[in-house]
Chains A and B, each alone.
Chain A
């Protein structure tokens, strides 16, 4: 009950503050076009990549690279927020 109440309170604060943000979504047609284009791109590009280098290696490394890049971006964002807190006394 306590955990639930705490979690609900955090959720309420989160949704109240972020509720003012209203970014529109992509139109459904455009989403379909993008996914369709990406499908075609990957289907056509995969054999080409395999011609130059081993695709089995590429398909393992590329997702790891993407994850690392995203993690670094999240790290940058978090650090940017933390450096704005004077009491934290963290500077880069």
Chain B
């Protein structure tokens, strides 16, 4: 296959390979007004990648239907970048295409169009170059020639190639479908593809230009040589700096654990303790959650709440008493007759509590360290 790929592809990223981002891909739905518009149905999604399909390397749009969208007519459109075409020239297009995972009862049409755009990017005209019903899921090769519309090219309209797969979905077709275009696409300007004699003539014509450039080339060679020698010192210095950095990093790697190592071990240890120590591991957790709850509690008013007394008897919830709260705010709250006395009482109890706590701490200290630095048995 004469493989030029698309000139526009090569222009987009500076290489001659066609990459997925070179191809403008849309998935469109056929609406009730018989117009194509970009699909908004969440039941249909897909990814665009570069892979091998039936031993052919190329670009895929892998679509998946998540739920039933029976009857929806969908097209997967792959649009090239702008082509540089000349009027009256004949172009030859060769490539492979295919689909997979489509039932025999489903009709999938494959179309190739040359689409013309005005300066606003609006589609002005299109020329259908190829259209066919895909009858099986194998990869098929296509080789045809076409001539662009002379008047459109003369008018300065931009033109792109459009590959479309059109199909109508059925409920039984949930799942993945590959839409495939080969990576190697031949695109040749036949009128510009001169024979061997013309090529020799062209080569002879280029000799004077090449001789004229010889002086520049020699000058560039010496310039490059000088720069190369100047850079050599930097490169040697850079080598030793890099070597030092590598040694330091290597030594660091020996002693400093990798990031997340301790977190990983902590999780492993927790899982191990949970598996092997069962209740002994659970009990501290219950105590911790109890302490947390104790700390977060903050009673607003002095009261006594008796919880409801209830139990289940033969799958029926029997309630003996409802929850009952006795509030003492009227007797000891703000503005009550016993307020001063109650506040005095609370302050007194608080002081006693603090003294008791200090005494407790001292006892524990003496238990561990002893009065004279020696532990005391209790």
Q: Contact residues of A with B, CB < 8 Å?
A: 1-4, 7, 11, 15, 18-19, 21-26, 31, 34-35, 38-40, 42-44, 46-59, 61-66, 68, 72, 75, 92
In this complex, the member of A11, A46, A47, A72 whose beta carbon has the largest number of chain B beta carbons within 10 angstroms is A47
> What are 6 pairs between A and B in contact, CB < 8 Å?
A3-B256, A11-B268, A21-B276, A23-B276, A23-B278, A59-B294
Closest residue of chain A to B295, judged by CB? A59
Q: Contacting B298 at CB < 8 Å: which of A15, A21, A55, A92?
A: A55
**Consensus secondary structure, chain A interface:** helix
**Consensus secondary structure, chain B interface:** helix
Task: Give A83 to B181 CA distance when docked, in angstroms.
Answer: 79
* Size bin of chain B's contact surface: 35 or more
Given A1-B253, A11-B268, A21-B276, the answer on whether A42 and B364 have CB atoms closer than 8 Å is no
Closest Cβ of chain A to B258, distance in Å, is 7
Task: Give A54 to B299 CA distance when docked, in angstroms.
Answer: 10
The answer to whether B238 has its CB under 8 Å from any CB of chain A is: no
Task: Give A72 to B279 CA distance when docked, in angstroms.
Answer: 21
Closest Cβ of chain B to A78, distance in Å, is 11
Q: Contact residues of B with A, CB < 8 Å?
A: 253-258, 261, 265, 268-269, 272, 274, 276-282, 286-287, 289-291, 293-295, 297-299, 301-307, 328, 346, 349-350, 353-354, 357, 360-361, 364, 367-368, 375, 377
A44→B349 contact, CB < 8 A: no
Task: Give A18 to B294 CA distance when docked, in angstroms.
Answer: 33
Task: Give A21 to B279 CA distance when docked, in angstroms.
Answer: 12
Closest residue of chain B to A79, judged by CB? B375
A65→B279 contact, CB < 8 A: no
A62→B375 contact, CB < 8 A: no
B350→A25 contact, CB < 8 A: no
Task: Give A11 to B261 CA distance when docked, in angstroms.
Answer: 13
Q: Which of chain A's residues have a CB closer than 8 A to the CB of B367?
A: 72
Knowing that A22-B276, A42-B294 are A-B contacts, what are 6 other residue pairs whose CB atoms are under 8 Å apart, sorted by A's residue number? Answer: A23-B279, A42-B297, A48-B305, A57-B350, A64-B357, A72-B367
